[in-house]
Amino acid sequence: MSGIKKKFVNDPKNVVNDSLLGLVQSDDRIQFHPQNPRVILRKDYEDLKNGEKVTLGCGGGSGHEPFAGGLVGKNSLTAAIAGDVFASPPSSHVSDALEAIQGKAGSLIYVINYTGDRLHFGMAIERSKARLGPDSKADLVYIDDDVALENKLGVTVGGRGLAGALLVLQIAGALAEDKKASFEEVRDVSRDVISNMGTFGVSLYPCALPGKGLMFDLPEGQMELGLGIHGEPGVERTKQVSAKEIVATVLEKLTASKRLQLKKSDKLAVLVNNLGGVSNLEFGLVQGEVASWFVQNGYTLSRFFAGTLMTSVDGHGFSVTVLKLKNDDWASLLDVPSHISSLWKATRPQTEVVKSPQHSQFDDNTKVEIVGVKVEQDTASTIEKALRKACEELIKNEDLLNELDSSCGDGDCGNALKSASKAILEAADQKRLAFQNPKSLCLQLSKLCEHSVGGTSGALYALFFGAGSRAFEDNFNSNTLRKAIQEGLQAISYYGHAKPGHRTLVDPLHAASEAAESTSWPELIKSVEKASEETASMEAKSGRASYTNKDQQKQPDPGAKAVALWFRAAFEATQ
């Protein structure tokens, strides 16, 4: 089992109270129950209670935020009750919430279907009936949308409550407050909605509670299917595959559910829920795969929702909920503006599969006008030999450059320069580079660097070669080579704001450009290598390394090291 995972907490024992305090402190529409810090109320709960609108409460263990405290608001919950992380609140806390919000129109308490929650919330309802009489309008609604366990023998408590709770509470809140529906109508519609929806989840990594390690072991290369939201393992463990295949697996199981009995003609509302630890980059991809799968398989998506809504602390996974829309009223209720609806992204997805446009304009990154001086074939062969050797040297030193970059950058300098080098070598092999026209060649190298390498490295070398090309308008010799280095350096310094002494590739390039015309190339190469090594003692003032601590900058800058490598390789290839 892994060690304790770092989290932003003050004290793990007080994390729930601290989180609720933060919720109330940052939202002037809600408040604590006057005597209970684990119960969150709307500030206007007294008006709702004394009016003719049904009030709604919901709760359960913490760790699922924004559920349930974050759902208190207009056309949503009137009250929320929070237990410890992954633990049901005691019945006394549920009673505090119910007594605070229960009025003439009645109150409904929603609970995600776990044994502890059923017992504690059930006791609160019974206590209310004993206090107000059997005819009092208070009832419990169980949310049991999980379909992962429906084929498991011996399970008698029903499905677990998962992210489908958000759809139920949105519809119930809109009915109760916006439509002023009766107690019986809100209750019956809620139960009907629940019986027509299902949820299935998947995770790549388990969650970790504050102050503790991961809740179960999940080996690298495997994924957990059909897991709940309390850190428990799923119903099946299988090999991790691509996101497209993961989504297909989840949706095949979900749409085959006996509970849903889906037909292609059914109108559906789909909710994609982030379990807390999936990056927005990944989550956008998952949303697209989910929407595309339904379109490709002939289903009609009437509504599409996505967000981080019912979490499992920081679980690296997602769930998909399908609601079969029995009538247009349900769809309309999902559209009612509410506090819950403000938390998700609501759309009507494309009715056809969208494909990314092809970047046809980048198909040939070597297509440039032939301009500038033309050199003899022998000189062109020497240029080609030097360029090839420089590229091969950068490819050979990929790991070294990545290692140098890992302490003060993002660890990909070697990868980036390898990509550029491979693109250049491929173009050379295909006879697409204008070696007899140095100016055109530099313009080609500029385009290749820009389009084969993302980020800073590609831009820097694109600038360097593009600006350096100006030196080869009329001549190609030792002096124009030095001039090209100077022109390229000036462009990098101007646009990149890097100067000598800033611990970047500018340092060795500056050493080369400052060398006197009488300096031999072997001496110039030594100056470049010396300047590269001296970056180890400099404090970074430009580039991504400037954002890191000086103590992390103990080795030569990877960009400077790369310049020294290709300078020497190119020179030795000509000897």
How far CA 197 is from CA of 75, 321, 494, in Å, comes to: 21, 7, 59
- Helix then strand then coil, in percent of the chain rounded to 5, is 45, 15, 35
Work out whether the CA dihedral 110, 166, 117, 6 comes out positive or negative: negative
Per-residue pLDDT of the chain (575 residues; tens, 9 = 90+): 457 888 999 999 999 999 999 999 999 999 999 999 999 999 999 999 998 899 999 999 999 999 999 999 999 999 999 999 999 999 999 999 999 999 999 999 999 998 889 999 999 999 988 888 877 899 999 999 999 988 765 555 578 999 999 999 999 999 999 999 999 999 999 999 999 999 999 999 888 888 887 877 787 888 999 988 987 778 888 999 999 999 999 999 999 999 999 999 999 999 999 999 999 999 999 999 999 999 999 999 999 999 999 999 999 999 999 999 999 999 999 999 999 999 999 998 888 888 878 654 445 667 788 999 999 999 999 999 999 999 999 999 999 999 998 876 678 899 999 999 999 999 999 999 999 999 999 999 999 999 888 778 889 999 999 999 999 999 999 999 999 999 999 999 999 998 999 999 999 999 998 886 778 999 999 999 999 999 988 875 544 444 344 544 468 999 999 999 999 999 999 98
Active site residue 230: yes
3-class DSSP assignment, residue 137: coil
pTM here is 0.79
Q: Alpha-carbon distance 137 to 525, whole Å? A: 88
pLDDT at res. 545:
44
What does the block give as tokens for 487? 């022109």
pLDDT at res. 321:
98
Question: All domains of the chain, ordered by start, with CATH?
Answer: 17-143 (3.40.50.10440), 197-356 (3.30.1180.20), 360-573 (1.25.40.340)
CA–centroid distance for 477 within its chain: 51
* Distinct helix (H) and strand (E) counts, the chain: 18, 13
What does the block give as tokens for 140? 């419990």
Element (H, E) at 81: strand 79-85
Q: Alpha-carbon distance 433 to 288, whole Å? A: 40
Q: Alpha-carbon distance 315 to 329, whole Å? A: 34
Specify which residues 304 forms β-bridges with: 270, 347
Tell me the residue type at 497. H
pLDDT at res. 233:
77
Specify which residues 197 forms β-bridges with: 323
CB atoms within 10 A of CB 422: 15
HSE-CB at 424 with a 13 A cutoff on CA atoms is 33
pLDDT at res. 220:
86
Closest CA to 522 of 448, 475, 464, 575: 575
Residue 53 per-residue DSSP state: S
pLDDT at res. 216:
78
Element (H, E) at 303: strand 300-307
Catalytic one of 64, 120, 230, 510: 230
Angle at 385 between CA 482 and CA 418, to 5 degrees: 85
Q: Which letter, b or e, does each residue of 484-515 get, where b requires 16 or more Cβ atoms within 10 Å of its Cβ?
A: bbbbbbbbbbeebebebebbbbbbbbbbbbbb
Assess contact for 140 and 94: CB atoms under 8 A.
no
Angle at 423 between CA 419 and CA 429, to 5 degrees: 140
Q: Which letter, b or e, does each residue of 21-49 get, where b requires 16 or more Cβ atoms within 10 Å of its Cβ?
A: eebbeebeebbebeebebbbbbeebeebb
Closest CA to 224 of 200, 251, 198, 189: 200
Specify which residues 142 forms β-bridges with: 111
